Structure 1
Amino acid sequence: MFGLFKSSPTKKLRKAYDMKLEQAMHAQRKGDIKTYSMLTAESESIWTEIQTIEEKEKNK
């Protein structure tokens, strides 16, 4: 019953993931490939965190 009010642990991570991808897109459009690759790598690490959390929740 109280699970309704419980927030998803991945909600903040998904927002950060989307923000990093958007920043990477803007860096790529400006021609800053080094920043683009750094932001893409950061977003990939956030995505792996999201996947591990979701797997843990799924296995419970």
Structure 2
Amino acid sequence: MFRLFRKKSKVEKLEVKYKKLLEEAHQLSTTNRSKSDEKMYEANEVLEEIEEIRK
């Protein structure tokens, strides 16, 4: 309730993006393996960025 009007931090936005990329990679893994690998690569880059911010 209290987070209703609070803006998301950069880390929270990146976490949402990371989860979305993982979901897309999982869906693509059954139909197009190369695109799935591309999404996993993008997700790993986002994860590295999250880790850099947290340091």
For the criterion TM > 0.5, the same-fold answer is yes
Report the residue type matching 1:25 in the other structure.
H
Any gaps of 5 or more consecutive residues in structure 1? 56-60
2:34 matched residue in structure 1: 34
Any gaps of 5 or more consecutive residues in structure 2? 1-5
Give runs of ≥4 in structure 1 deviating > 3 Å: none
User: Which has the higher Rg, Structure 1 or Structure 2?
Assistant: 1
Give the TM-score normalised by the residue count of structure 1.
0.75
Give the TM-score normalised by the residue count of structure 2.
0.82
- Matched residues in 2 for 1:41 and 1:6: separation? 28
Q: Number of aligned residue pairs: give it.
A: 50
1:53 matched residue in structure 2: 53
1:25 matched residue in structure 2: 26
**Higher helix residue share:** 1
Once superposed, what is the RMSD of the aligned Cα atoms?
1.3
